[in-house]
Chains A and B, each alone.
Chain A
Amino acid sequence: MMVLPLTQYIIFRYCPLWGVQVAFKDYNLFKGIQGSNWAGFKYFREAFQTQQFWDALRNTVWLNLLDLIFGFPMPILLAIMLYEMRSVKIKRVYQTLMYLPHFLSWIIIGGIVTKMFGTRGMVNTMIRALGGETVDFLTNSKNWVVMYVATGIWQGAGWGTIIYLAAISGVNTELYEAAEVDGCGRLKRIWHITLPGIMPTIMTMLILQLGRMMGIGFERPYVMMNNNVRDVSEVISTFVYTRGILNQRYPLSTAVDLFGSVINMIFLFAANRITRHMGGEGGLW
């Protein structure tokens, strides 16, 4: 019964791992991966000597860090507020609308963002109508970073509430009633009961996100970037795409990718270990 899916795993998940050795080889198209000569750490050294690599590395970490600082708390706050809403009907409608951006592809989102925030876009038209000056949201590096983070929140924060709403509804209701009897205010109740109640979930999500500090999807930066902001928008995934697939510099881009993955694993293990030390049940394993 399991033959078919396991074969898929082996052919398309495990076999490519064999190709990671390209990072250590002088890859020759005609000799193939197996026949090419070993090059040791040559391509790692080459990567470390190019400024673009360090830029891509710094941008990846920086954008992920901003996502963590601003993006991570959003669904938690939204979920708590949604839970506290009195009208079940309105809550349903709000949830439906909030989840919507999650189902739009990055191409569509990128298209919408360029339409809205371009110099001729709705936002700038409004700013000018109010007497302001045109803002270069997408072509100024600082503004672009803000747009990148905001777009991420726009796309994911609503959807992210689901997991926290599930966690909140799992909190013991007797605690809420006891707090009510003790005359606890709403904010105090949120602080002393809801938040501690969902802390394990928060920790798990935090580790998962920390474990992705070096990993960055390709589509989101790719659709949002433009030549004016290349200094802040070139990340590991786009670097690997342009160097690797477009320019066919396979060993160099594999080395960069591999370097990122290794750092990523270290982050993941460290984060998991720290939470376990803190006695959290949130550990991944």
Chain B
Amino acid sequence: MVSKGKGVRGRAYLGSEIVFNVILTLFVLLCIVPVIHVIALSLSGRNAVLAGTVSLWPKELDLNAYRSVVFDASMQRAMIFSIILTLVYTVLSMICSILLAYPLSRGYLPGRKLFMVLILIPMYFTGGTIPNYLWIKDLHLIDNPWSLVLPILTSTYNIIIMRNFFTSISPSLEESARLDGCNDFQILFRIILPLSTASLATVALFYAVARWNSYADVRYYINNQAYFTLQMKLYQVVFNATDTSVAMLEGGANEVLPDTIRSAAIVFSTVPILIVYPFLQKYFVQGVMIGAVKE
């Protein structure tokens, strides 16, 4: 976060203060108005939506769209699959990242420079979409949920954030533990990790949000509906030119407009993010700051 006021600002700045505040307020409104509008739309009744009178507050409150979305079996399955996928992915990624970031944060690791180069190269050189796809295919991972986990198990960016944080932990603690006969794993689990909970939370959240929001790899690697993530399902509902997939969702509530259903589906899949976001925001900011520290 930003440091508090500097106390160097006098009254003379009132003019620019007003201009700045107006611009910032406009930008903030621009950021949230679309989200509020979609929420309002999803809660509004048929006539109000058709007449186009819904702006930022629901009119003729109607929860039928949510009934169709929340009780739809494929939507529920996608939600559950996404939650499990995100959890599994985050846990495995964290294990992988810790096991790499910790050694890289220790100055005495032989060949540390070489390992750094090894993990930095893929940041700039990647196989590209098709070579990756063909490789996943050769490994028989197409239509296998592990194709959404294993290829992105490590993120060099996140590992560097973690490494920067581990580096900042005083080596004296480690030395005394070593004198007490602790091995590397004991030091990692008993000393380093308990001291880094905040940064671990940050990195875990980066991984979780990335997995939750990703869509491209599902599009590339998954054709089987059983492994559709929520984003994939949402894409079908929101973007299908024909209203068939929306109609499928409608079920019994045939009084609900496709547009309202689409809005409800958007809100439904945004809710998990909106719930955790306010509490976790500071961790995200912190992560960006730690990541910005250069070698």
- In the complex, what distance in Å separates the CA atom of A228 from the CA atom of B49? 26
CB of B231 within 8 A of CB of A107, answer yes
Counting CB contacts under 8 A, is B64 at the interface?
Answer: no
Give A163 Cβ to nearest chain B Cβ, in Å: 6
Number of interface residues of B (CB under 8 A): 94
CB of B150 within 8 A of CB of A8, answer yes
Which B residues lie within 8 Å of A168 (CB)? 2
Among A19, A81, A110, the residue within 8 A (CB) of B127 is: A19
- Name the residue on A nearest B184 (C-beta): A1
CB of B235 within 8 A of CB of A154, answer no
Give A170 Cβ to nearest chain B Cβ, in Å: 9
Chain B proximity mask over A32-49: 1 for CB below 8 Å, otherwise 0? 110000000000000000
- Name the residue on B nearest A17 (C-beta): B127
Mostly, the A contact residues are: helix
Counting CB contacts under 8 A, is B247 at the interface?
Answer: no
CB of A115 within 8 A of CB of B5, answer no
Give B53 Cβ to nearest chain A Cβ, in Å: 8
- In the complex, what distance in Å separates the CA atom of A2 from the CA atom of B122? 17
Number of interface residues of A (CB under 8 A): 89
CB of B133 within 8 A of CB of A244, answer yes
CB of B99 within 8 A of CB of A5, answer yes
- In the complex, what distance in Å separates the CA atom of A207 from the CA atom of B115? 24
- In the complex, what distance in Å separates the CA atom of A85 from the CA atom of B28? 14
Counting CB contacts under 8 A, is A104 at the interface?
Answer: yes
Which A residues lie within 8 Å of B131 (CB)? 16-20, 22, 254
* A window 238-276: CB within 8 A of B: 240-241, 244-245, 250, 253-254, 257-258, 261, 265, 268
Among B17, B31, B52, B132, the residue within 8 A (CB) of A97 is: B31
Counting CB contacts under 8 A, is A122 at the interface?
Answer: yes
Which B residues lie within 8 Å of A22 (CB)? 130-131, 134
Chain B proximity mask over A87-118: 1 for CB below 8 Å, otherwise 0? 01001101111111101111110111111100
- Name the residue on B nearest A125 (C-beta): B52
- In the complex, what distance in Å separates the CA atom of A95 from the CA atom of B28? 8
CB of A84 within 8 A of CB of B238, answer no
CB of A107 within 8 A of CB of B38, answer no
CB of A13 within 8 A of CB of B259, answer no
CB of B28 within 8 A of CB of A86, answer no
Give B190 Cβ to nearest chain A Cβ, in Å: 15
Give A228 Cβ to nearest chain B Cβ, in Å: 12
Which A residues lie within 8 Å of B2 (CB)? 82-83, 91, 165, 168-169
Counting CB contacts under 8 A, is A279 at the interface?
Answer: no
Counting CB contacts under 8 A, is A177 at the interface?
Answer: yes
Counting CB contacts under 8 A, is B269 at the interface?
Answer: yes
- In the complex, what distance in Å separates the CA atom of A169 from the CA atom of B41? 41
Counting CB contacts under 8 A, is A15 at the interface?
Answer: yes
Among B10, B185, B266, the residue within 8 A (CB) of A111 is: B266
Other than the known A108-B269, A218-B216, what 19 A-B pairs have Cβ atoms closer than 8 Å?
A6-B100, A9-B122, A13-B122, A16-B127, A22-B134, A82-B2, A98-B27, A100-B277, A103-B277, A105-B269, A115-B41, A116-B37, A125-B53, A162-B289, A218-B219, A222-B219, A240-B129, A245-B220, A261-B128
A–B Cβ pairs within 8 angstroms, 12 of them: A6-B100, A9-B154, A15-B135, A86-B9, A97-B28, A99-B281, A105-B214, A111-B239, A120-B259, A218-B219, A241-B220, A254-B130
